[in-house]
Structure 1
Amino acid sequence: MNTKYKDLIAQTFEFPQEEFHTEHGNLFFHGIDLMELIAEYGTPLKFTYLPKISENINKAKQWFHNAIEKHNYNGTYNYSYCTKSSHFKYVLDEALQNDIHIETSSAFDIDIVKSLKKEGKLSDNSFVLCNGFKRDKYITNIVSLIEGGHKNCIPIIDNYEELNLLLKETKKTFSIGVRIASEEEPKFEFYTSRLGIGYKNIVSFYERAIASNPQVELKMLHFFINTGIKDNSYYWNELLKCLKVYVNLKKVCPTLNSLNIGGGFPIKNSLAFEYDYEYMIEEIINQIKIACDEADVATPNIFTEFGSFTVGESGGAIYEVLYQKKQNDREKWNMINSSFITTLPDSWAINKRFIMLPINKWNTQYERVLLGGLTCDSDDYYNSEQHVNAIYLPVYEKDYPLYIGFFNTGAYQETIGGFGGLQHCLIPHPKHILIQKDSKGNLTTQLFKEQQKSEELLSILGYGNE
C-alpha cells in the first residue's frame, strides 16, 4: 500500500524533475541540499538561486535564434529585462552578464540605469526602453539619458501628450516607440488597456505629430498583452491586429524597424506545468514574417521584455510548520512561522499559486491540510495547489519538525511585499540569502539581508527617535 508522501508525488507527476529530486527523504533544488541550508540559516528563509536567471535568458535567446534561422527571418532578436519584476542589484548584475537590454517603468528606474552605466554594466549602445505613464520626474530623467549621449534610450509613447513633454525638455534628436492599447481578454473587467494608443489612431498620430518633426524618429511599435504569451485565440487575434498596424505604419514611416512583443512567458507554477516555448516562438516569428511578406515591407527587429520568465524561477521561500490546529472534524491548519500576506503577497492578493513541496519527511505518511500564516488576518492562508484543490503534506509530528518550501517566487514578491519596510501585523521580513556558483561550479551562499529587527520597524513608525 503506497501511503508515503513520495508515493503520492510519484503517482501524480513525473518525478524527479529538472530542478527537483530527493535523497533520503529530503528535497534538493538544483542540487542544493535544502535541509543543509535550513541548518545553516534557519527559517523563515528567502533565497535566490542566481544561475537560473542566466539559464532562462540563454534558453530564450537560443529559441529565438533557432526560429529566426528556421524561417529565414531577416531581423535581429533583442532580449530585454523589465526591472519591475525585481529591481535588486544582484538580479541586474546576473542578468546583464548575458548581453541583454533594459525596460523601465518609472522615474527611479532611470537612476538604476545610471548606476549600472557608471559601473560599466550598461553601455550607451544598450537599449533602455522607457515604458509606463510618464510625467515630471520620469520625463526629466529620460531626457537626462538622451542628453547624456545614451544612443539607444527609447521612450515608449503611452499617450498623445508625452511626446510634447519630451520635446519641451530637450533640443536633441531622439528615437521613440509607440505602445498599442491592446484589447483585454474577454473576461476582463474592461475592454481596452489603459496603457498605450488605440490601434486605429497610431498611423494618424504618426502623420500628425511625428512625420514632419526632424527631432524625432519613430523606431519601435510596442505590443503588450497583460495575460502574457499564450497559445489561445485571444493572443493570436491580438497579434494579428498588431501586425496590421505595423505594416500600415511601416508603409508611411521608413524609420520604423522594431517590434516589441511585450507580454511575458509563463513560468512553472506546478509540477504538472507544460508549455511549448519553442513552438510559440517559432509561430510568432512565422506570423510576423507572413504578415510583412504579404504587405511587401521589411521584417522588424524583435524585442521582448521578459520579467517573471527572467527572475521568477530563481526564487524560493522556506518555512517551518510550528503547530497544527484542528478546528473541526475535517480541517487541519498547519501554522507556518511567517506570513503569506507579507512574504508571498501574490498568493493573497491575486490568488497566485506557486510550487509548494515539503523539504523533509518524504518517506512518511501524508495528510490533507490548510496552511495558515502568523498574522491575525483571516486572509492569511494558502489552501490549494495549481493542479488540485487541496494541499497534501507529510503528517505533522510535534517532535519531528516539518519544513515546507515555495518555489519560483522570485518575481514581484519582495517589492509588492515592501521589502525592508513595514509588514502586516509587524511580522518581520525573513532572512534572505543568495546562492551562486563559483568558477569551479561549486555552490556558494551569501547572506543578503538579515531578518528584520524590531528596531527597524519601530524607527519607520516614528518610535526610534524617542
Structure 2
Amino acid sequence: MNTKYIDLINQTYYFPQEEFRLGDNGLEFHGIDLMALVEQYGAPLKFTYLPKISENINLAKKWFADAIEKNNYKGSYNYCYCTKSSHFKHVLNEALKNDIHIETSSAFDIDIVESLKKTGKVTDKTYVICNGFKRDRYIENIARLINNGHENCIPIIDNYEEIELLSDNIEGHFNVGIRIASEEEPKFEFYTSRLGIGYKNIIPFYEEQIKNNERVDLKMLHFFINTGIRDTAYYWNELVKCLKVYVRLKKICPSLDSLNIGGGFPIKNSLHFEYDYQYMINEILNQINITCAEAEMPVPNIFTEFGSFTVGESGGAIYEILYQKQQNDREKWNMINSSFITTLPDTWAISKRFIMLAINRWNDEYERVLLGGLTCDSDDYYNSEQNMAAIYLPKFRKEKPLYIGFFNTGAYQETIGGFGGLQHCLIPSPKHILIDRDKNNKITTKLFSEQQTSEQLLNILGYEH
C-alpha cells in the first residue's frame, strides 16, 4: 500500500522535474539542498535564486528569435522588465546582465533608473517605458531623465492631460506611446480598464494633441489585458482589436513603429503546469504579420514587459510546522512559524496558489491537513493546492520537525507585504537569502536581510526604548 509522501507525489505528478528533485537530505530546488539551507539559516526564511532570472529572460528572447525567423517577421524584439514585480537591487542587477530594458510605473522608479545609470547598469540606449497614471512628481522625474539626454525614455500616455503636463516640463522634443484601455473579461466587475485611453478615442486624441505638435512624436501603441497572454478567444479578440487600431493609427502617423504587448506570461503554479510559450509567440507574430500585410504596411517592432515571468520563479519561502491542532473530526491544522497574510499576501488577497512541497520526511506517511498562520485572523490560512482539493503532508510528529516550501513566490510578495515595515499582528518579516552561482557554477548563499526585530517594529510605531 502506497502511504508515504513520496508515493503520493510520484503517483500525482511527473516527478522529478527540471527544478525539483529528491536528494539524500530532502528536496532540492535547482540543485540547492534546501535542508542544508534551513540548517544554516533557520526557518522561516525567504530566498531568491538569482540565476533563474537570467534563465527566463533568455528563454523568452530565444522564443521570440525563433518566432521571428519562422514567421519571417521584419520587426525587432525588445524585452523590458516590469520593475513593480520586484524593485530590489539584486533583482535589477541580475536582469540587466541580459541586455534588456525597463518598464516603470511610478515616480520613484525613475530614481532607481538614475541610480542604475550611475553604475552603468542602464545606459542611454536602454529603453525606459513609463507606464502608470502620471502626476507632478512622476512627470517631473520623467522630464528630468529626458532633459538629461535619455532619449529612449518613452512616457506611455494614460490620460488626456499628460501631453500638456509633459510638454510643460520637457525642454525639447520627446517621444510618447499611447496605452489602449482594453475591455475586460465578461465576468469582470467592470467593462473597460481604468488604464489608458479607449479604443474609439485614440485616433481623435492623436489628431487633437499629437499630430500637429512639433515637439512630440508618437512611437508606440501599448496593449495589455489583465488576464495575461493566454490562448483564449477573449485574448485573441482583444489582440485583433488592438491591431486594427494600430493599422488605423499608422496610416496617419508615420512615426509610429512599435507595438508593446505588455506582460502576462504565466509562471508555474503547480507541478501539473502546462503552457506552450513558443506557440503563443508564433501565433501573436503571425496575427501581426497577417494584419499588416492586408493593410500593406510594415510590421511594428515588438516590446514586452514581463514582470512575474522574469522574477517569479526565482523566489521561495520555507516554514517550519510548529504544532498541529485537531479542531474537529476531519480538520487538522498545521500551524506554520510565520504568517501567510504577511509573507505570501497573494494567497490571502487573491487566493493565489504557489507550488507547495514538503522539504523533508518524504519517506514518512502522509495526512490531509490545513495550513494556518500565526496571526489571529481567520483569513490567515492556506487550504488547497492548484490541482488538488486539499493539502497532504507527512504526518505531524512533535519529535520530528517538518519543513515545507512554497516556490515561485518571487514576484510582488515582498512589496505587497511591506518589506521592512509593519506586519499584521507584528509578525516579523523572515530573513531573506540570496542564492547565486560562482564562475565555477558552485552554489553560493548570502544573507540579504535578517528577520525583523522587536526594536525595528517598535521604532516604526514611535515607541521609545
Q: TM-score range by the shorter chain?
A: over 0.9
User: Is 2:52 the counterpart of 1:42?
Assistant: no
Tell me by how many angstroms 1:171 deviates: 2.8
Q: Is the 8 A contact 2:263 2:307 kept in 1?
A: no
**Aligned residue in 2 for 1:81:** 81
**Aligned residue in 2 for 1:109:** 109
Identify which range, 87-96 or 166-175, moves more after superposition: 166-175
Partner SS state of residue 175, structure 1: strand
**Aligned residue in 1 for 2:173:** 173
Q: Distance in 2 between matches of 1:361 and 1:25?
A: 9
Tell me by how many angstroms 1:281 deviates: 0.4
**Aligned residue in 2 for 1:16:** 16
1:278-308 residue CA offsets vs partner (Å, 9 max, x unmatched): 0000000100111001111110000000000
Q: Distance in 1 between matches of 2:24 and 2:33?
A: 11
| Length-normalised TM-score, structure 1 | 0.99
**Aligned residue in 2 for 1:300:** 300
| CA distance 1:25–1:115, shift in 2 (3 Å) | closer
Q: Distance in 2 between matches of 1:170 and 1:66?
A: 39
Partner SS state of residue 405, structure 1: strand
Q: Distance in 2 between matches of 1:410 and 1:171?
A: 39
Tell me by how many angstroms 1:168 deviates: 1.1
1:322-378 residue CA offsets vs partner (Å, 9 max, x unmatched): 000000110000000000000000000100000000000111110000000000111
Q: Distance in 1 between matches of 2:338 and 2:216?
A: 52
**Aligned residue in 2 for 1:399:** 399
Q: Distance in 2 between matches of 1:55 and 1:95?
A: 10
Q: Is the 8 A contact 2:25 2:35 kept in 1?
A: no
1:102-136 residue CA offsets vs partner (Å, 9 max, x unmatched): 00000000000000001100001100000000000
Tell me by how many angstroms 1:443 deviates: 0.3
**Aligned residue in 2 for 1:232:** 232
**Aligned residue in 1 for 2:156:** 156
Q: Distance in 2 between matches of 1:12 and 1:94?
A: 35
Partner SS state of residue 396, structure 2: coil
User: Is 2:364 the counterpart of 1:364?
Assistant: yes
Q: Is the 8 A contact 1:358 1:393 kept in 2?
A: yes
1:24-56 residue CA offsets vs partner (Å, 9 max, x unmatched): 361000000000000000000000000000000
User: Is 2:119 the counterpart of 1:119?
Assistant: yes
Q: Distance in 2 between matches of 1:387 and 1:245?
A: 39
User: How many matched pairs?
Assistant: 465
**Aligned residue in 1 for 2:457:** 457
Q: Distance in 2 between matches of 1:411 and 1:132?
A: 19
* Aligned alpha-carbon RMSD (Å): 0.7
**Aligned residue in 2 for 1:283:** 283
**Aligned residue in 2 for 1:253:** 253
Q: Distance in 2 between matches of 1:128 and 1:264?
A: 19
Residue identity (%): 76
Structure 2 residues without counterparts, runs of 5 or longer = none
Q: Distance in 2 between matches of 1:12 and 1:170?
A: 58
Q: Is the 8 A contact 1:129 1:156 kept in 2?
A: yes
Q: Which one-letter code corresponds to 1:221 in the other structure? A: L
Identify which range, 162-171 or 285-294, moves more after superposition: 162-171
Tell me by how many angstroms 1:170 deviates: 2.2
Tell me by how many angstroms 1:169 deviates: 1.2
**Aligned residue in 2 for 1:443:** 443
Tell me by how many angstroms 1:81 deviates: 0.3
Q: Distance in 2 between matches of 1:277 and 1:288?
A: 17
Q: Distance in 2 between matches of 1:370 and 1:362?
A: 18
Tell me by how many angstroms 1:263 deviates: 3.0
| Length-normalised TM-score, structure 2 | 0.99
Partner SS state of residue 161, structure 2: helix
Structure 1 residues without counterparts, runs of 5 or longer = none
1:222-276 residue CA offsets vs partner (Å, 9 max, x unmatched): 0011110000000000000000000000000000000000131000000000000
Q: Which one-letter code corresponds to 1:60 in the other structure? A: A
**Aligned residue in 2 for 1:139:** 139
- Summarize the alignment of residues 31-70 of structure 1 with structure 2, pairs less than 5 Å apart: 31-70=31-70
Q: Distance in 2 between matches of 1:309 and 1:170?
A: 33
Q: Distance in 2 between matches of 1:263 and 1:233?
A: 18
Tell me by how many angstroms 1:389 deviates: 1.3
**Aligned residue in 2 for 1:322:** 322
Q: Distance in 2 between matches of 1:109 and 1:333?
A: 41
